[in-house]
Amino acid sequence: MRNFIDAVLLAGCLSYACPLAAQLNCTVVVNSPEDQLMLAVNGADNPQDQVAALDKYAQAHADSPFMPCVNSSYTAAYLKLNNFDKAIEYGEKDFAANTADINVMLNLLRAYVGAGKASDTAFNVINKVPDEIKKESNPGRPAKMSDADWQKALQDLAEQTKDERAYGEYAFFQLLPRVTDPTKQIQFLDSFMTSYPDTPNMGQVNFQYFVAYKRANNAAKADEYGEKSIASDPNNVATLNLVADDYATRQTNLDKASEYATKVLQLAPAMKKPEGMTDADFKTNQNNQLGLAHTTLGYIAFLKAGKTRKVAPAIQEFKTAVDLLGGNPELLGKALYFLGSAYEFEYPPNHKAAADALGRVTGPWQGQAQGLLAKVKKAEHR
């Protein structure tokens, strides 16, 4: 179960007569094969030796009622070895048999995250974490423990359960983007909100709903959750950028698109580097955010130029975006494509500049760019 429980109940468990978890009963009798196993596992110098001890026991006692505890130890040992597939295999045995405690469930989630496996079972584990925490959060008080020690133990338990729940949410947001079917993403989000109704991460939840509904081509719901996401986290640069890009691309709300993209230009220079991110990666991300905002503003200006023929503002925005987006071929390709389009649209057309921009496009925008480039070259040689 929890380290807290081990410490609190140590005085009453010297004969190994206490269960270590609410569901996973790892009671052992002194000098029994199970006792010898746990002595070997706990005394091993490395996880490989732990696995060897577990293998020996499992081969000799495959039908033992102690096997759920063996599976739990396997899960922890393979997780230490970064053998995530094996950790998942053994953790899922306990989960399927309804013998998984919170430690098994969290180790399973760590393995899912490490392996990048977003299975139905993974999300089922995530959704059961809050209930399991509740089951295991009411330990009996040892008879000889003082009031002060008991209160300290309860405080420590409260902090630990807070961390455990937070990891359940962390795992959800790590795994959800790996789900390829937007309909399933929406289902997983709905289930998550049932299990974590008081989540402190509503901005992220709304953002993921926005992305899923956008991928599902449900524009009305995408707009709804895009606005909810911004309302929940009004200074989130990535959210502002993606909602602005969506509004501009669909030409549904150019005023808000311009407002949000302009706000990105104000916020992005003051972004704080996330812990663990290198300076180079942070600079690339910052430039990508700025570049996408300039692309959005350029596209809005380009649309307006359809009436005014004043394309110079759009060209300047696209050129600025191109200078910033070298670290992201997809965003760079989009900016170059529209830059080439703008050069060709101006009067008189700048065929040479248009061809130069379109010829540099790679990635998803390359097909469209090559089609336009052929027309530019044909017009240039008339």
Give per-residue pLDDT as tens, 20-62. 334 577 878 999 999 999 999 999 999 999 999 999 999 999 9
Q: What's the average model confidence in pLDDT over 332-344?
A: 97
The confidence score (pLDDT) of residue 382 equals 65
State pTM to two decimals: 0.83
The confidence score (pLDDT) of residue 23 equals 55
Handedness of CA 139, 145, 146, 148 (dihedral sign): negative
CA distance 296 to 315: 12
Q: Which of the 8 DSSP states describes residue 178? A: G
Class of domain 3-178: mainly alpha
Percent of the chain residues past pLDDT 70, beyond the cut: 94
Q: What's the average model confidence in pLDDT over 325-352?
A: 95
Torsion region of 277: left, alpha or beta (phi above 0 gives left; psi -120 to 50 gives alpha): beta
CA distance 315 to 333: 15
Class of domain 235-380: mainly alpha
Using pLDDT thresholds of 50, 70 and 90, give the confidence band for residue 254.
Answer: very high
168 contact partners, CB below 8 Å, separation of at least 6 = 106, 109, 126, 129, 130, 196
Comparing 3 with 227, the larger pLDDT belongs to 227
Give the DSSP H/E element, type plus range, for residue 266: helix 254-267
Burial 284-304 (b: 16+ CB within 10 A, else e): bbbbbbbbbbbbbbbbbbbee
- Quickly tell me which residue has 């991460």 as its tokens: 201
In CATH terms, are 3-178 and 235-380 the same topology? yes
In the chain, domain spans: 3-178, 235-380
